Amino acid sequence: MPRSVGCALRSLALALCATASLFAQTVHSRFATVNGVRLHYLEAGTGAPIILLHGFGETSHMWLPLIPKLAVNHTVIAPDLRGSGESAVPDSGYSKITMARDVHALAQNRGWTAVRIVGHDIGLMVAYAYAALYPQETERVALCGERYEHLADRQALRAGHVARLAGGATPFR
């Protein structure tokens, strides 16, 4: 094979790899109906799943600067919680436990049995409820933008979950 053809093939292979990487990082807007509620979510990447939960008065779009960076090595979804963004606005069901069940149902629809979950502000409370309700399905949890020590006093959340979630926390890789 002539040297110029070999160089061209190597260049084409590198370009295809770069294009595949960029495609994995492209953020897609999707919808799913879970627990009788139509949820909107953003999705990108491939790999171990990470769920990003927005704060009060925000939507999944708050995560747009971070999603492509995480999508290099992870499948990332960022739902609009019920009543926010493009998700449905039901008359009831706004407890954090109900929202955690919505997010869990979305994860189950994706076929995920273990997730890493990040919550900001109100999303923090939903992420915490998720981890407390589904400890065997929560690999890691990151709680951002709020002190969460006071959550340990709530009856619905056992102290064992707090200890498990707080101990051995490591950054996402």
Please give, one letter per residue, the 3-state secondary structure of 44-75. Answer: ECCCEEEEEECCCCCCHHHHCCCHHHHCCCEE
Mean pLDDT computed over 103-130: 95
Question: In the chain, how many domains are there?
Answer: 1
99 falls within a domain: yes
- 171 located within any domain: no
pLDDT at position 152: 46
Residue 71 resides in a domain: yes
Cβ count within 10 A of residue 48: 17
Average model confidence (pLDDT) across the chain: 80
- Residue (of 83, 75, 78, 76) closest to 38 by Cα position: 83
User: What pLDDT, in 10s, does the model give residues 52-109?
Assistant: 999 999 999 999 999 999 999 999 999 999 999 999 999 999 999 999 999 999 999 9
What's the pLDDT tens digit per position in 3-15?
Answer: 554 444 455 444 4
Q: Is residue 159 over pLDDT 80?
A: no
Share of the chain above pLDDT 90, in %: 68
In a domain, 141, yes or no: yes
Q: What is the model's pLDDT at position 138? A: 96
CATH for 37: 3.40.50.1820
Tell me which range, 15-19, 32-36, 149-153, is most confidently predicted by mean pLDDT: 32-36
In-domain check, residue 18: yes
Place of tokens 């009831």: 92
Domain presence at residue 24 = yes
Q: Domain range holding 132?
A: 3-166
pLDDT of residue 2: 54
